[in-house]
Amino acid sequence: METRQAIETRRAVKQYDPNHSMTADEIRDLLSLAILSPTAFNLQNWRFVIVRDKELRRKIRAAAWEQAQVTDASLLIVLCADLKAWEKQPQRYWRNAPWEVQDYIVPAIDNYYRGKDQVQRDEAMRSCGIAAQTLMLAARDMGYDSCPMDGFDFDAVGELINLPEDHVIALFVVIGKATQPALPRGGQLPLQEVLVDDHF
């Protein structure tokens, strides 16, 4: 599928075939593409929690106001971010770069994030948003549908997945075989309403 077609046909689908399973190869391919998503300073701070346990998925569904796609989709990914990835051996993110690049960039990472909790969180959310879009477009290219979700109790889900204290949940992405098409688009704003030249 062409990139343009994947973008145009990707929709937030709510109804999935609960009997369909993605193969291990498909899941590996999907995640291999997702980890190519860009992150600031190449921190790769996203963490993809694949929820496979059926009972755990039922509990997460309860924390997501009983939305059926949580259990019925082939794949439930709780997309999280490590807020402290910037200080966890940051040289490993640049191990293949020339020494002069490493000598510059590793201290720059520390200077950018240390003591700036809001910057750390903002960066985590940006990174996860980009990764989520990569997942959804890659899934579409593979013939699957998807839905991004933030309609759930974040604290309850964090407890269910044993979320580390220095991590945050950004959103869910569910992926699977649709049993019903998405509703027609609700109404796109005209380009001229959202496009700003130079300044507001």
pTM metric for this prediction: 0.95
């993809």: which residue's tokens? 48
**What residues form DSSP beta bridges with 44?**
none
- Sequence letter at residue 25: D
The predicted structure's pLDDT at residue 169: 98
Residue 181 DSSP class: P
SS3 content of the chain, % helix, strand, coil (to 5): 45, 15, 40
3-state secondary structure (DSSP) of residue 79: strand
The predicted structure's pLDDT at residue 1: 82
Domains of the chain (ranges, CATH numbers): 3-194 (3.40.109.10)
72, 16 Cβ separation under 8 angstroms: yes
Sheet of 167-176, strand order: 46-50, 75-82, 167-176, 145-149
Tell the burial category of 165 from Cβ atoms under 10 Å away from its Cβ (0-12, 13-18, 19+).
exposed
Between CA 122 and CA 170 the distance in angstroms is 10
Tokens of 182: 């998405």
Q: How far is CA 11 from CA 26, 42, 77, in A?
A: 20, 29, 17
């001229």: which residue's tokens? 192
Could you list the mean pLDDT of each consecutive 10-residue stretch along the chain, which spans 200 residues? 93 97 98 98 98 98 98 98 98 97 97 98 97 98 98 98 98 97 91 96
Tokens of 197: 């030249």
75, 176 Cβ separation under 8 angstroms: yes
